[in-house]
Amino acid sequence: MNELSDAKIEEIRAGLLAWFAANHRDLPWRHTRDPYRVLVSEVMLQQTQVDRVIPYYERWLALFPTVESLATAATSDVITAWSGLGYNRRAVYLQKTARAVIENHRGVFPSSLEELVNLPGVGPYTAGAIAAFAFEQDVAFMDTNIRRVVHRLVFGSDIPTRQATEREILAAAERLVPEGFGWAWNQAMIEFGALQCTQRRPACVVCPLQRQCAAFPEIQTDIAELPVGVRLKNEATFHGSNRQFRGRVVEELRRSTSATLAELGPKVKHDFAERDLPWLYGVVSGLKRDGLVTIKEPAAEYDPDSPVPDLVVALPD
């Protein structure tokens, strides 16, 4: 780790805020300080590209413009409105958060990190984002972009075989936040990681923070020499995974409202056979645990020799 002196901190702050002022994108959630709208944007932006999120964000707010409207909506409507964004459990947790705000906080979002992180479905990152972007607090928090930028600036190259600890990165991030600029600083960090200091091809040659960046002398060599077989974060295979089949089950139920396991099977897996019933039951059981579906008793008598009763699966009421 290079020394994070007061002079270096001031140089980083000045350079990054100037870069953000000149290069930031005009995004709809940057025009609000409503904690509900900030929450919606942050949940939607998790592992989803910004350009893809914008129309979903706008449609969602047309359907559920306030925390009260989301809290009182039917969960099936919430899941249907989430269609196309993936990770459907996020929609359920978003509604659970809204209901907790109504039931436990009289409809007013708490502003402290301690209270925010105790809301269902709200982790340290989301709590920090709400504190910074809705309440303009001078807080530090970690997402993929912020972590990468801080690591490179302070600790050097962030290849998987040579990384600082999460505690070290957070401590450095906390020192970097300029007093009175929590909103702009954290927006700038996220934007810089998304547009300039990217994971695979950082624009080091035209980076305004070259002189302050601990990684600049080595990062391009490190990326080029990354060993074959070393996977970077967030590159988990999706095709053929249970996550893909979970999404297919929910998408089918959005169209048909309910279906038996035998009806669902061929619609979510092209080579589905009776031997796959236990597997499909496991998939829908996981969805039930996450609040995304309900499982009802068999619609009729079932064959006792069948590996799994032909249960009826539906979206929650």
How would you write the pLDDT of the chain (317 residues) with one tens digit per residue?
557 899 999 999 999 999 999 999 999 999 999 999 999 999 999 888 999 999 999 999 999 999 999 999 999 999 999 998 888 899 999 999 999 999 999 999 999 999 999 999 899 999 999 999 999 999 999 999 999 999 999 999 876 656 889 999 999 999 999 999 999 999 999 999 999 999 888 888 889 999 999 998 876 555 444 454 444 444 345 555 677 788 888 888 888 778 888 888 898 888 888 777 777 877 888 888 888 888 876 545 445 455 556 688 888 87
Q: Is residue 229 part of a domain?
A: no
Q: How far apart are CA 174 and CA 89, in angstroms?
A: 31
Could you list the residue range(s) of the whole structural domain that residue 307 is in?
242-314
Element (H, E) at 312: strand 312-314
- Structure confidence by residue, pLDDT tens digits, 181-239: 999 999 999 999 999 999 888 888 889 999 999 998 876 555 444 454 444 444 345 55
Which amino acids are annotated catalytic?
42
Task: Establish if 237 belongs to a structural domain.
Answer: no
Domain count of the fold of the chain: 3
Q: Is residue 154 part of a domain?
A: yes
Do 70 and 155 lie in one domain? The reply is no
Tokens encoding 55:
């129309």
Instruction: Give pTM, 2 decimals.
Output: 0.77
In a domain, 206, yes or no: yes
57: in domain:
yes
Residue position matching structure tokens 């995974």: 241
Residue-averaged pLDDT of the chain: 86
Instruction: Count CB-CB contacts under 10 A for residue 117.
Output: 17
300 close to 286: Cβ distance less than 8 angstroms: no
Residue 293's CATH number: 1.10.10
CATH number of the domain residue 50 falls in: 1.10.340.30
Q: Are residues 20 and 155 in the same domain?
A: yes
CB-CB contact of 145 with 195 (8 Å): no
CATH number at residue 213: 1.10.1670.10
Q: Nearest Cα to 231, choosing from 194, 201, 200?
A: 200
* Angle 87-30-182 from CA coordinates, rounded to 5°: 100
Q: Are 13 and 158 part of one and the same domain?
A: yes
User: 244: part of which helix (H) or strand (E)?
Assistant: helix 242-256
Q: Do residues 64 and 203 share a domain?
A: no
